[in-house]
Amino acid sequence: MTDTGRPPTGHAVVLGAGVGGLLAARVLSETFGRVTVIDRDALPEQGVPRRGVPQGHHAHGMLSRGCEILDDLFPRLTDDLIATGAVPCDVQNDVRWYNDGRRLRSAPSPLRGLMMSRPYLEGTLRARVAALPGVVIHGRCEAVEPIAGVDGTVTGVRLLRQGHENPEDMAADLVVNATGRGNRGAEWLRRLGCEPPAEDRVDSGLVYVSREYRRRPGDADAVALIVGHSASVPRGGVALSAEGDRWLVTLYGMGDDVPPVDPDGYHRFAARLPVPDLHDLLLRLEPLGAPRLMRIPVAVRRRYERLGRFPEGYLVFGDALCQFNPTYGQGMTVAACEAVALRDCLTDGGRHGLARRFFERAARIIDVPWDMSAGGDLRFPSVEGPRTLRVKLLNGYISRVHLAAEKDPVVGRAFLSVANLQTPPQHLFSPGVIARVLRPRAGGAQDTPLLTAREEIPAGH
Which three-class secondary structure string do you get for 270-335?
HHCCCCCHHHHHHHHCCECCCCEEEECCCEEEECHHHCCCCCCCEEECHHHCEECCHHHCCHHHHH
Q: What pLDDT shows up at residue 447?
A: 47
pLDDT by residue, tens only, the chain of 461 residues: 555 566 789 999 999 999 999 999 999 999 999 999 999 999 877 666 776 666 666 787 789 999 999 999 999 999 999 999 999 999 999 999 999 999 999 999 999 999 999 999 999 999 999 999 999 999 999 999 999 999 999 999 999 999 999 999 999 999 999 999 888 999 999 999 999 999 999 888 889 999 999 999 999 999 999 999 888 888 999 999 999 999 999 999 988 899 999 999 999 999 999 999 999 999 999 999 999 998 876 899 999 999 999 999 999 999 999 998 887 889 999 999 999 999 999 999 999 999 999 999 999 999 999 988 888 888 888 887 778 888 888 888 999 999 999 999 999 999 999 999 999 999 999 999 999 999 876 544 444 444 332 233 333 33
d(CA 303, CA 305): 5
- What is the rounded CA–CA span in Å between residue 225 and residue 91? 11
Residues pairing with 253 in the sheet: 207, 235
pTM of the model: 0.92
Radius of gyration of the chain (CA): 22
Strands 292-295, 206-214: pairing is antiparallel
Q: Rounded to the nearest 10 degrees, how much is the dihedral formed by the CA atoms of 398, 298, 13, 64? A: -20
Predicted confidence at residue 401, as pLDDT, reads 96
pLDDT for res 230:
83
Distance CA 96, CA 101 (A): 12
- CA dist 68 and 89 (Å) reads 13
**Cα 337 from Cα 368, distance rounded (Å):** 12
**pLDDT at position 63:** 92
Strands (E) across 52-205 are located at: 61-62, 87-90, 95-99, 102-103, 112-115, 135-138, 141-148, 154-161, 168-171, 174-177, 199-202
Q: Of 186, 156, 182, whose CA–CA distance to 307 is shortest?
A: 186
Q: Please, which residues have CB within 8 angstroms of residue 121's CB and are 6 or more apart in sequence? A: 19, 60, 62, 81, 86, 332
Rounded Cα distance between 289 and 270, Å, is 17
Sheet-wide strand order for 199-202:
199-202, 299-302, 322-323
Residue 394: per-residue pLDDT: 86
User: How many C-beta atoms surround the C-beta of residue 10 within 10 A?
Assistant: 14
